[in-house]
Structure 1
Amino acid sequence: MTATVADARPAVAHPVSVARGYRFELVKLTSQWRIRLIVVACWIAPALFVAAVSQQTSLPVDTLFGRWMHATGWAGPLVILGFSGNWALPLLTSLVAGDVFASEDRLGTWRHLLVAVRSPQRIFVAKALASLTVIMLLMAGLAVSSAVGGLIAVGNQPLVGLDGHLLPAGNAAGNVLLAWVCAIAPTLALAAIGLLGSVALGRSPMGLLLPALVALAMQLAQMLPLPVAVRLALPGYAFTAWKGLFTSPGQLAPLLIGVVVSLVWAVTATVLAYLLFLRRDFTNLTSDGSGRRAITVGLVPLAGLLAVTIAILAAVTASATAGIQQTKVEAGVSTAFAHLYRVQTKQLNRPDVTEAQLQASTACTKGDGKVDPVGPGNDWRCVVSWHLPGVAATGQAIYQLDITADGRFMADGDGPKEVNGFFLVRTPIGDAPNPLWQFDGNVDLLPTPKG
C-alpha cells in the first residue's frame, strides 16, 4: 500500500492590512456615543448660533468680523473660526486624538489587539488615520454649518475686510474657505500632540488634556507682547494669522510661516509618538508607557524644536520687537478710514470720491504722548485728516484705539458726531449702521521691506 504524505507546512500569520485596521479603528471611534454626539453638534450648532446671532441687534463686536454678521453671511464662518481656534478645535482634538491610544490602556485590550493585527506599526498608522478622519469630519462640520447658517439668515453679500475694502461675495467665499483650510495645519499640530500625549502618558488624564492645555498656553502667550519670532514659532499661530487674508494687499507672510511651523510640529510630534509606541512593552500589564523616559523623549525634542524655530525665525525676520509701530498703525487706520468713508458716502447718496482724492492721513500717539508709540495697548489715540474735492477745509476725526499683541486693533470713533460719533447714520431709506463709528484693522507684525 502506497501512502501519500502531504507536505506539512506551518500556517503563517500575516499582519492585518492598514486598510482593514483603519476601518476597524474608525468603526470603534464612531460607535462611541460621545463622538456621535460631537459630530451632530458640530454639524448643527454653528448654523443655529450664526443664524440666531445675525438677527440680534447686539452683535459680538469684540470678536473679529462679529460687527458684520448682520450685513453678510460670510462673517459668521469667520466668527466661528475664531472661536474654534481658541476653544473648540483644541477640545475636539483632545477628545479624539488624546484618547485614541489611552482607551486601550484603560480597557486592557492591547494584547488582544496585537494578536488580531500582529503589527504595532500598522496599529499606530490605523489609529492615527482614524482619529485624523474624525477630526477632519468635525472641522468640516463647523465650517459648512456656520456658512450655511449665515447665508440662510443674512445672504450672500459682500464682506468688509480688515482694511475697510469691500470683498465681493465670490471673493469673500474663497477667502473664508482658504482661512478654514489654513486652520487645518495648527489643528494637525494639536492632533499630533494629542497622539503623543495619549501614547506617552497612557491612562493618565493629562494625556487626554494635553492638546487643550497646550492650546491654552499658546493663547495666553499670544496675549503677551512677545517678540515676533517667538510668536511665529508657536504651532498655533496660524489660528490667528488667517486674518491677513482679509487685507489688500494680503498679509500672507505671517500666515505662510504659521502654516509651515504648524506642519513641522505635526510631523515631529507624530514621529515621536510613533517611536515611543514601538518601544512600548505590551507584555507588562502594569506598564502603560507613562514612564520617565517616555515623558523625556516626548518633551525634550519639542522644546528643542521650539528653540530652534525661534532662532531661525529671529534670523530670517530680523525682528526683536513686538512688531507694532507708530507708522504701521497710522497707515492701517488711514487705509481703513478711506475705504469706509466711501462706504458711508454711498449710504448718504453723496458724490463718490476715491481714496486718492481723500488723501487720508493719520497722526497717532500712545499714552497721551507720554510713552513711546510702540507695542499693544488701549491707550492709542489717532486723529485722521482728509480732503474733499472742491472743499478748502480739512476734515478731521478722532479715534481711540485698542491694539492687541497679535496686531489686531479696534478703532472707536470719538467725534465729530456727524462722521463717527453715533452708531447709526440717517440715510434716505432710513437709519443704517455707521461704518465709521467702529472698525477693525490689522497691523502686519513683520518688518516692512525698505524701498
Structure 2
Amino acid sequence: MTTITAGRAAAATAPGPGTRPVPVGRVYRFELVKLLAQWRTRGLLLACWIAPGLFTAAVAQQGTLPSDTLFGRWMHATGWAGPLVVLGFAGSWALPLLTSVVAGDVFAAEDRLGTWRHLLVTVRSPRRIFAAKALAAVTVIGLLVAGLAVSGTVGGLAAVGDRPLVGVDGHLLSASDAAGSVLLAWVCALAPTLALAALGLLGSVLLGRSPMGLLVPALAAVAMQLAQVLPLPVALRLALPGYAFVSWNGLFAAPARTGELLVAVTVGLLWAAAATAAAYRLFVRRDFTTGSEDGVGRRTLSHGVLPLAALLALTTGAIAAATPSTGSGITQEKVQREVATVFAHLYRLQTEQLHRPAVTEADLRATADCRRGDGQVDPEGPGNDWRCVVTWHLPGTDAPGTAVYQLDVASDGRLMADGDGPKEVNGYFLVHTPTGDAPNPLWQFDGQVGLLASPTGTTDSTKG
C-alpha cells in the first residue's frame, strides 16, 4: 500500500514525456498576484502606507508625547523621531501580526481550498511551488515594511521638519546622519522580520488547514517579548531572533554601538534560514494524493521544534564563548558611565538653549555615582530602584555642580532617568530661554547600557 501511495504521489508531481516544470518566475508572478488580489492584503498595504504618516503627524501636533517610547520625547523636535517610534511599535506588534497574516497562511490556504492537486498538475514541481510561494510572501512583507518606514518618515518630516536628532547617548546627530541611521535601522529590522516570516512558513506547512498556523509568528513574538523582560543571561537574550528589534538603537550613539546589532542580525538571518529549510524539507516530502495529509503529528516536534531548539542552544553557546559578558550584563560601572555620558551631552544642549558660554564634555568632566535601593541592594541588574548623583565642573568655577536622578533600568539595558533636582537643572520640565519656555532636555532622558563586553572588559559602547 505504501508503494502504491508513493507511486501515485510521484505520478502526480513528475512531468510527463516532453513536458517541463513551469519556470519559477512565472509561478512567482502567479502567487504574487494571488496574494495581492486578497482584500486583506490590500487593506494591510493601504494601512501600512498611510496610518504611520497620519500617526506621526498627529502626535507631533499634540501637547503630550509618547515619552515611554524610545525617541518619543523628541517628536516635537525633529521629524526623524517619528519613524523610530513607528519602528519600536512595529517590532513589538505590527510586524509579528503582518507576518502571521501573510506568511502564516500562504500554504494553509491551499489546504482549505483543496487546490493542491490542480497547482501540482499545472506547475509539476513541488520545489518550484515552495520557492514561488516563499518569495511572494517575502515580497509582500517587504512592501509592508517599506510602507511603515516611508509613511512614518514622510509624516514626521511634513509635520516637524528635517532637523537634528538627539541620539540615544544624548549627542546631536545632524539631519543627514539621522536620515542614514534611520534607514539602516529599518534595514536591520528586516532580519528578525524574515525570521518571523520563516516561522510563519513553517507553521503553515506543518499545521495545514488549521488556523493555528496563522498564530505561529505572533505567538513566537509574544514569547520573545516576555523573555526580554526577564533577567536572562546576555548570551541567551542575544540568541533570540527578535533582539534586532531592540538593538538597532545602538546606531544612534557616538561611536555607533554595532556589536550587539551585528550579533542580533546574524542570529535573525540564521533563524530565517533554518525555519525556511525545515519548511522546505517538509513540503517536498509531503504526500499530496490524500486529503488528510496536512502536516500535523510527530513531524511537528522532529522537524519543527527540535531543529530550532538546537539552533538556539548553538547560538547561545557561541555567543557565550565569544564574549566574557555574564549575568544580565548590567553593572554599576556601565550604568554610571552611560548616565554621565548622556548628561554631559544634554548639558551642552541646555547650555545652547539658555545662550550660556559654550562648554565641551571634556570641560564638564561629568561623573555619576549610582546605587540601588539606597545601597542595600547589589548595584547590578535591571530595576526601578537605581539612584544616581551626577557631578560636573564648569570652567572658571571651583564648586562642582550636582544633580540627582531616579533610574529605571530595563532588562534589555534601556534606562529612563527622571530628574530629582535641583530645579534650575533638572527639576522642572521647562527651561526659561531668551526666546521663551522650552522643553528641558535634562528633566528626563533615555540611555542604553551596552550588555556585551569586549575581551578587555570595556563595554561595546566605548569602542571606536
TM-score under structure 2 length normalisation? 0.94
Asked if 1:246 is matched to 2:252, the reply is: yes
Give the drift of 1:12.
Answer: 2.0
- The answer to whether the 8 Å contact 1:397/1:420 transfers is yes
Q: Distance in 2 between matches of 1:301 and 1:353?
A: 56
- The answer to whether the 8 Å contact 1:48/1:149 transfers is yes
Asked if 1:358 is matched to 2:364, the reply is: yes
Could you say which residue in structure 2 is the equivalent of 1:367? 373
Equivalent residues in 2 for 1:72-111 (5 A)?
A: 72-111=78-117
* 1:33-70 deviations in Å (ceiling 9; x for gaps): 00000000000000000000011110000000000000
Could you say which residue in structure 2 is the equivalent of 1:163? 169
Count of residues in correspondence between the two structures = 442
Partner AA of 1:79 in structure 2:
V
Partner AA of 1:227 in structure 2:
P
Give the drift of 1:94.
Answer: 0.3
SS where residue 16 of structure 1 aligns? coil
Asked if 1:421 is matched to 2:427, the reply is: yes
Could you say which residue in structure 1 is the equivalent of 2:58? 52
Asked if 1:381 is matched to 2:394, the reply is: no
Partner AA of 2:427 in structure 1:
G
Match of residue 130, structure 2, among 124, 127, 133:
124
Q: Distance in 2 between matches of 1:49 and 1:43?
A: 11
Structure 1 residues without counterparts, runs of 5 or longer:
1-9
Deviates more, 1:254-263 or 1:296-305: 296-305
* 1:262-310 deviations in Å (ceiling 9; x for gaps): 1011011101000000111100012212222244211111011111111
* 1:164-212 deviations in Å (ceiling 9; x for gaps): 1000000000000000000000001000110000001111222110000
Asked if 1:402 is matched to 2:408, the reply is: yes
Asked if 1:300 is matched to 2:334, the reply is: no
Asked if 1:259 is matched to 2:257, the reply is: no
Asked if 1:209 is matched to 2:212, the reply is: no
Q: Distance in 2 between matches of 1:150 and 1:297?
A: 45
- The answer to whether the 8 Å contact 1:42/1:141 transfers is yes
Q: Distance in 2 between matches of 1:108 and 1:219?
A: 36
Match of residue 229, structure 2, among 204, 217, 223:
223
Deviates more, 1:57-66 or 1:318-327: 318-327
Equivalent residues in 2 for 1:30-41 (5 A)?
A: 30-41=36-47
Q: Distance in 1 between matches of 2:82 and 2:325?
A: 34
SS where residue 288 of structure 1 aligns? coil
Could you say which residue in structure 2 is the equivalent of 1:190? 196
Q: Distance in 2 between matches of 1:372 and 1:289?
A: 51
Partner AA of 1:168 in structure 2:
S
- The answer to whether the 8 Å contact 1:158/1:166 transfers is yes
SS where residue 22 of structure 1 aligns? helix
Partner AA of 2:220 in structure 1:
V
Partner AA of 2:347 in structure 1:
Y
Partner AA of 1:272 in structure 2:
A
SS where residue 417 of structure 1 aligns? coil
- The answer to whether the 8 Å contact 1:201/1:295 transfers is no
Q: Distance in 2 between matches of 1:204 and 1:295?
A: 17
SS where residue 38 of structure 1 aligns? helix
Could you say which residue in structure 1 is the equivalent of 2:5? none
* 1:354-396 deviations in Å (ceiling 9; x for gaps): 1111110110000110010000000000000011111111100
* 1:133-164 deviations in Å (ceiling 9; x for gaps): 00000000000000000000000000000111
SS where residue 283 of structure 1 aligns? coil
Identity of aligned residues (%): 70
Q: Distance in 2 between matches of 1:217 and 1:280?
A: 29
- The answer to whether the 8 Å contact 1:401/1:412 transfers is yes
Could you say which residue in structure 1 is the equivalent of 2:336? 330
Q: Distance in 2 between matches of 1:226 and 1:338?
A: 31
Q: Distance in 2 between matches of 1:135 and 1:243?
A: 23
Q: Distance in 2 between matches of 1:293 and 1:85?
A: 30
SS where residue 236 of structure 1 aligns? coil
Give the drift of 1:318.
Answer: 2.3
Partner AA of 2:404 in structure 1:
I
TM-score under structure 1 length normalisation? 0.97
Could you say which residue in structure 1 is the equivalent of 2:4? none
Match of residue 32, structure 2, among 8, 26, 30:
26
Partner AA of 2:320 in structure 1:
A
Give the drift of 1:11.
Answer: 5.5
Equivalent residues in 2 for 1:3-14 (5 A)?
A: 12-14=18-20
SS where residue 418 of structure 1 aligns? coil
Deviates more, 1:28-37 or 1:314-323: 314-323
Could you say which residue in structure 2 is the equivalent of 1:282? 288
SS where residue 281 of structure 1 aligns? coil
* 1:67-120 deviations in Å (ceiling 9; x for gaps): 000000000000000000010000000000000000000001000100111100
